[in-house]
Amino acid sequence: MTHHGTRVRPLTEADVPRLLELNHAAVPAVNDIDAGEMGALIGAAALAAGVVRGGHPDAREGELLGFVLALAPGADYASENYRWFSQRGDRFLYVDRIVVGEGHRGEGLGPRLYDAVFVEARARGAAEVDCEVNVEPPNPGSLAFHARLGFEEVGRQSTKGGSVVVALLAKPTS
Protein backbone atom coordinates (compact mmCIF):
# COMPACT_ATOMS: atom_id res chain seq x y z
CA MET A 1 0.00 0.00 0.00
CA THR A 2 1.24 3.47 -0.84
CA HIS A 3 0.07 6.67 0.82
CA HIS A 4 1.68 10.13 0.65
CA GLY A 5 5.10 8.77 -0.22
CA THR A 6 4.99 5.91 2.26
CA ARG A 7 4.62 2.26 1.52
CA VAL A 8 3.54 -0.45 3.91
CA ARG A 9 5.09 -3.81 3.14
CA PRO A 10 5.27 -7.24 4.77
CA LEU A 11 8.13 -7.86 7.18
CA THR A 12 10.59 -10.70 6.64
CA GLU A 13 13.34 -12.36 8.66
CA ALA A 14 15.80 -10.08 6.85
CA ASP A 15 14.18 -7.12 8.65
CA VAL A 16 14.92 -8.47 12.14
CA PRO A 17 18.12 -6.43 12.77
CA ARG A 18 16.35 -3.14 11.93
CA LEU A 19 13.24 -4.20 13.87
CA LEU A 20 15.39 -4.87 16.94
CA GLU A 21 17.03 -1.46 16.55
CA LEU A 22 13.65 0.30 16.36
CA ASN A 23 12.18 -1.81 19.15
CA HIS A 24 15.14 -1.30 21.50
CA ALA A 25 14.98 2.47 21.02
CA ALA A 26 11.29 2.41 22.06
CA VAL A 27 11.84 0.61 25.41
CA PRO A 28 10.11 0.93 27.94
CA ALA A 29 7.06 1.81 25.80
CA VAL A 30 7.47 -1.72 24.40
CA ASN A 31 9.28 -4.63 26.00
CA ASP A 32 12.77 -5.42 24.79
CA ILE A 33 13.04 -8.72 22.92
CA ASP A 34 15.85 -10.62 21.23
CA ALA A 35 16.19 -11.77 17.62
CA GLY A 36 14.63 -15.17 18.32
CA GLU A 37 11.59 -13.61 19.99
CA MET A 38 11.20 -11.08 17.17
CA GLY A 39 11.39 -13.83 14.55
CA ALA A 40 8.81 -15.89 16.44
CA LEU A 41 6.49 -12.88 16.69
CA ILE A 42 6.76 -12.25 12.95
CA GLY A 43 5.93 -15.90 12.35
CA ALA A 44 2.92 -15.86 14.70
CA ALA A 45 1.57 -12.51 13.52
CA ALA A 46 -1.56 -12.17 11.41
CA LEU A 47 -0.02 -8.90 10.25
CA ALA A 48 3.69 -8.11 10.33
CA ALA A 49 4.16 -4.89 8.40
CA GLY A 50 6.70 -2.12 8.11
CA VAL A 51 6.43 1.37 6.73
CA VAL A 52 9.07 2.72 4.38
CA ARG A 53 9.32 6.00 2.57
CA GLY A 54 11.36 6.42 -0.56
CA GLY A 55 13.48 9.53 -0.91
CA HIS A 56 13.09 10.70 2.70
CA PRO A 57 16.06 12.96 3.46
CA ASP A 58 16.89 11.08 6.69
CA ALA A 59 16.27 7.53 5.45
CA ARG A 60 17.96 5.26 3.00
CA GLU A 61 15.64 4.28 0.15
CA GLY A 62 13.33 1.58 1.48
CA GLU A 63 14.64 1.73 5.08
CA LEU A 64 12.10 0.69 7.69
CA LEU A 65 10.90 3.75 9.59
CA GLY A 66 8.36 1.88 11.72
CA PHE A 67 6.53 -1.39 12.10
CA VAL A 68 3.48 -3.11 13.54
CA LEU A 69 2.93 -6.69 14.70
CA ALA A 70 -0.66 -7.83 15.19
CA LEU A 71 -2.00 -11.22 16.27
CA ALA A 72 -5.33 -12.90 15.62
CA PRO A 73 -7.22 -15.04 18.14
CA GLY A 74 -5.75 -18.49 18.70
CA ALA A 75 -2.10 -17.50 18.33
CA ASP A 76 0.43 -19.37 20.45
CA TYR A 77 1.53 -16.32 22.39
CA ALA A 78 2.12 -16.02 26.14
CA SER A 79 1.53 -12.27 26.56
CA GLU A 80 -0.62 -11.44 29.60
CA ASN A 81 -2.31 -8.68 27.62
CA TYR A 82 -3.03 -10.88 24.60
CA ARG A 83 -4.55 -13.47 26.96
CA TRP A 84 -6.74 -10.77 28.54
CA PHE A 85 -8.22 -9.87 25.15
CA SER A 86 -8.52 -13.57 24.20
CA GLN A 87 -10.64 -14.20 27.30
CA ARG A 88 -12.84 -11.24 26.35
CA GLY A 89 -13.77 -12.59 22.90
CA ASP A 90 -12.56 -14.09 19.64
CA ARG A 91 -13.31 -11.40 17.05
CA PHE A 92 -10.33 -9.11 17.46
CA LEU A 93 -6.94 -8.28 16.04
CA TYR A 94 -4.41 -7.56 18.80
CA VAL A 95 -1.61 -5.06 18.19
CA ASP A 96 1.32 -6.46 20.14
CA ARG A 97 3.56 -3.56 19.23
CA ILE A 98 3.61 -0.55 16.96
CA VAL A 99 6.87 1.37 16.79
CA VAL A 100 7.86 4.43 14.77
CA GLY A 101 11.49 5.52 14.77
CA GLU A 102 12.18 8.48 17.02
CA GLY A 103 13.17 10.83 14.21
CA HIS A 104 9.99 10.03 12.28
CA ARG A 105 7.25 10.48 14.87
CA GLY A 106 4.61 13.05 14.03
CA GLU A 107 4.90 12.33 10.29
CA GLY A 108 1.71 10.25 10.02
CA LEU A 109 3.50 6.90 9.97
CA GLY A 110 1.72 5.51 13.05
CA PRO A 111 -1.74 6.19 11.59
CA ARG A 112 -0.50 4.73 8.28
CA LEU A 113 0.44 1.49 10.06
CA TYR A 114 -2.91 1.44 11.86
CA ASP A 115 -4.66 1.82 8.47
CA ALA A 116 -3.03 -1.49 7.49
CA VAL A 117 -4.11 -3.05 10.81
CA PHE A 118 -7.75 -2.08 10.27
CA VAL A 119 -7.72 -3.36 6.67
CA GLU A 120 -6.43 -6.71 7.96
CA ALA A 121 -8.90 -6.76 10.87
CA ARG A 122 -11.88 -6.16 8.57
CA ALA A 123 -10.64 -8.79 6.11
CA ARG A 124 -10.58 -11.29 9.00
CA GLY A 125 -14.05 -10.33 10.22
CA ALA A 126 -12.72 -8.86 13.47
CA ALA A 127 -15.12 -6.67 15.42
CA GLU A 128 -12.36 -4.60 17.00
CA VAL A 129 -8.66 -3.83 17.15
CA ASP A 130 -7.12 -4.16 20.60
CA CYS A 131 -3.88 -3.00 22.19
CA GLU A 132 -2.43 -1.87 25.48
CA VAL A 133 -0.46 1.18 26.55
CA ASN A 134 1.61 1.54 29.69
CA VAL A 135 0.23 3.82 32.37
CA GLU A 136 2.99 2.76 34.84
CA PRO A 137 5.63 3.53 33.71
CA PRO A 138 3.65 6.29 32.01
CA ASN A 139 3.46 6.63 28.25
CA PRO A 140 1.35 9.78 27.76
CA GLY A 141 2.39 10.18 24.12
CA SER A 142 1.04 6.76 23.17
CA LEU A 143 -2.14 7.25 25.22
CA ALA A 144 -2.79 10.54 23.40
CA PHE A 145 -1.96 8.98 20.01
CA HIS A 146 -4.40 6.10 20.55
CA ALA A 147 -7.10 8.47 21.86
CA ARG A 148 -6.74 10.59 18.69
CA LEU A 149 -7.27 7.42 16.64
CA GLY A 150 -10.48 6.65 18.56
CA PHE A 151 -9.29 3.89 20.91
CA GLU A 152 -11.09 3.70 24.25
CA GLU A 153 -10.02 2.10 27.51
CA VAL A 154 -11.86 -1.17 28.21
CA GLY A 155 -9.81 -2.28 31.22
CA ARG A 156 -6.55 -2.07 33.15
CA GLN A 157 -4.25 -4.69 34.50
CA SER A 158 -1.01 -5.05 36.37
CA THR A 159 1.60 -7.16 34.57
CA LYS A 160 5.20 -8.32 34.96
CA GLY A 161 4.75 -9.04 38.64
CA GLY A 162 3.23 -5.63 39.33
CA SER A 163 6.05 -3.59 37.78
CA VAL A 164 3.87 -2.45 34.86
CA VAL A 165 0.24 -1.28 34.71
CA VAL A 166 -1.41 -1.08 31.30
CA ALA A 167 -4.55 0.50 29.92
CA LEU A 168 -6.28 -2.06 27.68
CA LEU A 169 -7.68 -0.25 24.63
CA ALA A 170 -10.12 -1.19 21.88
CA LYS A 171 -11.56 0.41 18.76
CA PRO A 172 -14.38 -1.07 16.66
CA THR A 173 -13.53 -1.94 13.07
CA SER A 174 -16.75 -0.45 11.71
pLDDT tens-digit readout, 119-148: 999 999 999 999 999 999 999 999 999 999
Q: Going by CATH, does the domain composed of 2-129 fall within 3.40.630.30?
A: yes
In this structure, are residues 20 and 38 in contact, taking their beta carbons and an 8 Å threshold?
A: yes
pLDDT tens-digit readout, 38-78: 999 999 999 999 999 765 455 455 789 999 999 999 998 98
Which whole number is the average pLDDT over 7-18? 94
pLDDT tens-digit readout, 91-124: 999 999 999 998 898 889 999 999 999 999 999 9
| Domain definitions of the chain by residue range | 2-129
For residue 104, CA distances in Å to 61, 65, 67, 100, 155 come to 15, 7, 12, 6, 30
Model confidence, pTM = 0.90
3-state secondary structure of 137: coil
Strand segments (E) across the chain: 2-3, 6-10, 47-53, 64-71, 92-100, 128-136, 152-159, 164-172
3-state secondary structure of 7: strand
